[in-house]
């Protein structure tokens, strides 16, 4: 996901130039992030299933009504799964709230194939989640240190004044919507939308997800009670953690879609070997 300081070119062949796009540290931390996020998602949904409601405030179920709930009830004698947001209830039988396990309908917020472990076990889910959460944090600190020391953040991710112009951003947005991806010299660098998206994730979503996760720990709250004040209580932190994780999943989905649409083999090769093929401008190859 990150460009190296130097772009080393190979000998042009048929109008194609291979450049060195991703450093070893970038590639290793990227794939470890993929592993961690996968396990964090599955174990996180296991934890959510133990109490499939979201509240805002200090006290949660004791005083603050849930504004999101995934559950099941009976309607006309038949089991029914539903997703409730505020006063709006949407039937979700077979997907959320109620799914089949071993041929029988079972009340369950998220289905078994989306949780780790597949059976309901809060303690196991928490162990998986904590292990990969700390692995994710340490991996992120390694990447952060590399980005700062190598100048990658300043050089490759910081947009300049021209890139932040509304007209420029609008033009890039239209090009993306039409699946017109940069080529030639422009393909060597991140475009403005990529830079803004990565900055939002690195400086916004990820720190918020880590801090809200820590706020849900009674031990951390005892050592740093200010976290409860910042996030207006443990239940509010849980809600923000869920929302932040949802936005991160959305980012990953869009990221993978762009990888596929803009050339899956070329993008995968660059993240495995570090080399990325760029078509020279004016070439018909």
Rounded to whole angstroms, how far apart are CA atoms 83 and 178?
34
pLDDT in tens, 19-74: 777 889 999 999 999 999 999 999 999 999 999 999 987 766 666 788 899 999 98
Q: Higher-confidence residue: 183 or 122?
A: 122
Rounded to whole angstroms, how far apart are CA atoms 203 and 193?
15
**Contact of 125 with 46, CB cutoff 8 Å:** yes
Mean pLDDT of 4-26: 64
Say if 66 falls within a structural domain: yes
DSSP 8-state assignment for residue 282: T
How many beta carbons lie within 10 A of that of residue 268, not counting itself? Answer: 12
Say if 83 falls within a structural domain: yes
Statement to judge: residues 204 and 161 lie in one domain = yes
Q: Where are the alpha helices (DSSP H) in 76-121?
A: none
* pLDDT value of residue 61: 62
* pLDDT value of residue 3: 45
pLDDT in tens, 221-252: 999 999 999 998 899 999 999 999 999 999 99
Statement to judge: residues 173 and 238 lie in one domain = yes
Q: Which of 108-112, 242-246, 268-272, 275-279 has the lowest mean pLDDT?
A: 275-279
Say if 188 falls within a structural domain: yes
Say if 10 falls within a structural domain: no
39 is in which domain, residue-wise?
16-52+114-279
pLDDT in tens, 182-206: 776 677 778 899 899 999 999 999 9
Say if 11 falls within a structural domain: no
Task: Give the pLDDT band (50/70/90) at residue 176.
Answer: confident
Statement to judge: residues 40 and 169 lie in one domain = yes
Out of 17-26, 92-101, 105-114, 130-139, the most confident range is 130-139
* pLDDT value of residue 21: 78
């Amino acid at each position: 996901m990150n460009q190296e300081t130097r772009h080393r070119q190979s000998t042009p062949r048929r109008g194609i130039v291979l450049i060195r796009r991703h450093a070893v540290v970038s590639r290793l931390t990227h794939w470890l992030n993929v592993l961690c996020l996968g396990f964090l998602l599955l174990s996180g949904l296991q934890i959510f299933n133990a109490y499939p409601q979201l509240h805002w405030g200090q006290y949660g179920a004791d005083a603050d009504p849930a504004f999101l709930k995934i559950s099941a009830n009976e309607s006309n004698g038949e089991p029914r799964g539903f997703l409730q947001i505020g006063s709006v209830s949407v039937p979700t039988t077979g997907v959320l709230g109620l799914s089949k396990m071993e041929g029988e309908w079972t009340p369950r917020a998220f289905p078994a194939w989306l949780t780790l472990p597949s059976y309901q076990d809060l303690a196991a889910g928490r162990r998986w989640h904590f292990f990969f959460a700390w692995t994710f944090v340490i991996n992120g600190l390694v990447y952060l240190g590399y980005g700062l020391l190598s100048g990658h953040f300043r050089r490759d991710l910081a947009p300049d004044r021209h890139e932040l112009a509304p007209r420029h951003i609008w033009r890039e947005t239209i090009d993306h919507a039409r699946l017109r991806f940069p080529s030639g010299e422009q393909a060597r660098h991140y475009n403005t939308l990529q830079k803004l998206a990565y900055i939002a994730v690195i400086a916004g979503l990820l720190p918020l997800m880590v801090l809200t996760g820590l706020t849900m720990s009674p031990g951390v709250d005892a050592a740093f009670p200010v976290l409860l004040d910042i996030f207006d209580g443990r239940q509010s932190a849980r809600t923000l953690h869920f929302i932040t994780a949802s936005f991160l999943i959305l980012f990953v989905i869009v990221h993978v879609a762009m990888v596929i649409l803009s050339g899956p083999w070329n993008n995968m090769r660059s993240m495995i070997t570090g080399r990325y093929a760029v078509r020279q401008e004016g070439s018909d190859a």
